[in-house]
Amino acid sequence: MPEPQDKKPQLAAPELSVILVAGGQRKRATAALRSLLGQSIIDRIEILFFDLGPKDCPALPGSDHPRVRMTRGGPKDLSAARVQGVHAAHAPVVCFMEEHCEVQPGWAEATVLAHRGPWAGVGCDFINGNPNAGRSDKAFRMNYGVYVRPQRGRGPVKQIAGQNSAFKRDILLRYEPQLEIMMSADLVLQWKMARDGSQFFYEPTAKMAHRNPNT
């Protein structure tokens, strides 16, 4: 008996799950999602998109892409959405991406390749997404200066950015049922990982533009 003509094609198993949580800032969330969909290995990525914006907001352009799994409403806050995403992820590596960021070309591939090593977490290189805009340069140096181009360059590091880094999913799940509360403060979970013997890696060929406060 022939298969139904409308049967959806089977998608390849993802190597990277990106958890993206958006609220009312629709323009910058659209840019974040677009940057993910433009990655060279989008066929090996799944995007777990949690749209927590107002109910009357239209869906973001690109949210109907076959590599996007969208949840509208639901989780009560950022950390709850992210933990829900960790549980739902199909890939062995999970990235927590902020909606005011845009990944640069080659980011996903470099992240996946770096995670073939023994690292619990891989951090990327950051560039200022809104340079020369008010106080954005100062805010960027304050928040991300320590993670930009460490002195030793590519290789093992003591810590990576709490936000916008990628972690092995099985290691994250070790911290249940405290995972949600630990993720409420970005670096708490990472400090606990390091104390438990986990190692981290800085991958400068994976680049992300971070938009900063300008007032």
What residue ranges of the chain have pLDDT lower than 50? 1-8
Query: Could you tell me the sign of the dihedral formed by the alpha carbons of 39, 36, 133, 185, in that order?
Result: negative
Closest CA to 17 of 64, 75, 69, 79: 69
Whole-number pLDDT of residue 151 = 58
Model confidence over 6-26: pLDDT tens digits?
344 567 789 999 999 998 888
CB 102 within 8 A of CB 209: yes
Q: What is the pLDDT of residues 28-70, one digit of tens each?
A: 999 999 999 999 999 999 999 999 888 888 899 999 999 999 9
- Whether the model clears a pTM of 0.85, i.e. scores above it, the answer is yes
pLDDT of residue 75: 79
Q: Can you list the pairs that 140-148 forms with residues at least 24 positions away whose Cβ atoms lie under 8 Å? A: 140/210, 140/212, 143/210, 143/212, 144/210, 147/123, 147/202
Geometric angle at alpha carbon 67, from 95 and 80, rounded to 5°:
45
Residue 71's H or E segment, with its range, is strand 68-72
What percentage of the chain has pLDDT greater than the value 70?
A: 93
CA distances to 8, 10, 47, 147, 186 from 3, in Å: 11, 13, 29, 52, 48
Please report the DSSP string for 5-56 in residue order. TTPPPPPPPPSEEEEEEE-S-HHHHHHHHHHHHTSTTGGGEEEEEEE-S-TT
